[in-house]
Amino acid sequence: MKLRALALLLVLANLGFYIWSQGWLDALTGARGTGEPERMARQVNPQLLRVLPEAQGVAAMAGSALAAACLEAGPFTAVEAGAALAQWRERGVPTARIVTRELPGDAAMLRIEDADAALAAQLAQGAAPFGKAFAPCAN
């Protein structure tokens, strides 16, 4: 009996929260505009924002100074890193500039310190090995 009462109480609490969060009680409580309109007012040109698929995003960043400076992919296991390099080599990507940076626990990052726009675009073509595409370096 106690468990049924607790379950009923939880259902009623969830229902009450849903009604409150949808704003259906605003007329009773006098609260209006609980959707934080000041955040909408502070946006600067939100219409310029575009979400691109990963490969197109990397290609779009290829012309920027950030992408031209440093790119990295990973983390990979040691075996995956070798296989990823082989896949990029098969696509005609010059892998001589790709450096393997060891991480703790048999992991590695593949890094290019001075990637130019052409190399970044070449890396963005096709599927990324193991789903890990090159992106701007974290540090």
Tokens standing for 47?
């219409």
Residue-wise pLDDT tens digits, 16-45: 999 888 888 877 777 665 567 777 778 777
**Mean of pLDDT values over 116-139:** 73
What's the chain's average pLDDT?
78
Distance, in Å, from the CA atom of 61 to the CA atom of 71, rounded to the nearest integer, reads 11
Instruction: Give the 3-state secondary structure of residue 131.
Output: helix
Tokens standing for 2?
């106690």
Q: What is the pTM of this model?
A: 0.45
List of domains in the chain: 2-47 (no CATH), 54-136 (3.30.70)
Burial readout 57-92 (b: 16 or more C-beta within 10 A, e: otherwise): bbbebbeeeebbebbbbbbbeeebbeebbebbeeee
Q: Which amino acid is at 110?
A: L
